[in-house]
Amino acid sequence: MKRTTKIGLVSILVLITLTLGGLLTLNLLTYSPSPQAESALKSDATVNVKTTSNATVFTPTKHKQKISVLFYQGALVKEDSYSIWAKKLAVEGGYTVYLIHQPFHLAVLKSEIATDIIQENSIKEYVIGGHSLGGVMASRFAESHPSTNLKGVFFLASYPDEKGSLAKTTLPVLSITADHDGVLNWDRYKEAKKDLPPTTTYQTITGGNHAGFGSYGPQKGDTSALISNNEQQTMISDLLLDWLDTITK
């Protein structure tokens, strides 16, 4: 075997090894849904839960609203970790919710995927939002896709960056934080208020933390919550429902 051929084969093997190692590391670092979140993925008489190639979809069986909810998860968090409050929006509010699947659970890798969801499901009216990094990407999508079909943007422990500035929008915007969040960069959060419209609705969950915006267990760098995850999930759904109701009136 020629020396150049040997070098080429070794390089390929090294590349494969590094790639597999990277994928394994990502998998180990990824947060998975809790048993409670897994349980919320079951369909019942009030909601149909379906997993497609692009999203986990919660469709109410009765009193379906015109507006759909599109959601980008936090970095390295499996989208089904948000199923508890998503199901509540469907059951209690009649909203169809799409927990969007992202490559390697990183919204930054495919921030335009909402376009596919909208087209494939013939969605007419929608709001879009996200948790942490997902919120940053959701705001970029909203900024770069102005449309009369987009009815609002929401942030869970998140904020827009300059590329996703919503400062000039007339859309309803909701920002929910938790006062025991140890992951959110609070300085950047405060700075980013310049990229939000003055009509933004700000809500704080007392005793909640960063991981509590989903249901996937403790998160590295976070602060312990003073309330249960179930309590935080209920507060999230209530705040989102109140905000959505102001849009659908």
pLDDT at 15: 43
List Cα–Cα distances, 115 to 50, 65, 111, 118, 145, in angstroms: 19, 20, 9, 5, 9
Record the pTM.
Answer: 0.90
pLDDT at 96: 98
Q: Which pLDDT tens digits describe the chain residue by residue (249 residues)?
A: 555 555 544 445 444 443 334 434 455 579 999 999 999 999 999 999 999 999 999 999 988 899 999 999 999 999 999 999 999 999 999 999 999 999 999 999 999 999 999 999 999 999 999 999 999 999 999 999 999 999 999 999 999 999 999 999 999 999 999 999 999 999 999 999 999 999 999 999 999 999 999 999 999 999 999 999 999 999 999 999 999 999 987
Calpha distance 161→3 (Å, rounded):
50
pLDDT at 63: 85
pLDDT at 23: 36
pLDDT at 148: 94
pLDDT at 2: 54
pLDDT at 187: 98
Backbone angles phi, psi at 244, to 5 degrees: -65, -35
pLDDT at 149: 96
β pairing state of 125-131 and 150-156 = parallel
